[in-house]
Amino acid sequence: MFALLTHFRGLAAYNSWANRRLYAAAAMLPDAAYRQEAGTFFGSLHGTLNHLLVTDRIWLRRLTGTGEAPSRLDAILFEALEPLRAAREAEDARLAAFLDALSLDALSAILDYATTAGTPRRQPVRDVLAHLFNHQTHHRGQAHAILTRLGMAEPPSLDLLAMQRETARA
């Protein structure tokens, strides 16, 4: 279990690193491009980035009992990129702090929660965390594709190994 907790802490560091790179790329776009319909689940880069913050807030509320928990997966929490970026950084720090304080026993604990549709569910915390990080990677991949579709010649690498290599050099 210790290795799994260490793994999740590493994923939190990766999550923060990848989000910073993605937001830096988004900031290079004209506002119209940032909001342009892209044919993805949440429409635009703006919608996708908001969705990622929405879901992390929902999961952290379920896991900690504190924080905001939007009721809709397509909620737009922030209309402008800079406040969204600041909120993203705060949520990434909150997730890292949660994992830093998490005990080994807590990974096996069962989390009782309700979906956004109100359906009751029960899952081990370790499975919820695996989902949270996988979900982030999934939608960051969509955001990366949006950047390419919008003409960004070389969107930043979001590879886990790139982060590990960069961190090892630092």
Structure tokens at 159: 């590879």
pLDDT score at 1: 73
DSSP state of 65: S
Range 93-115 average pLDDT: 97
For the residues 107-134, what does the mean pLDDT come to? 97
CB-based contact 28:85 (threshold 8 Å)? no
Averaged over 124-144, what is the pLDDT? 97
Per-residue confidence band for 159, with pLDDT thresholds at 50, 70 and 90: very high
What is the pTM assigned to this prediction?
Answer: 0.95
**Residue-level pLDDT at 169:** 82
Neighbours of 66 (CB within 10 A): 10
Cα–Cα distance list, 128 to 58, 97, 98 (Å): 12, 16, 13
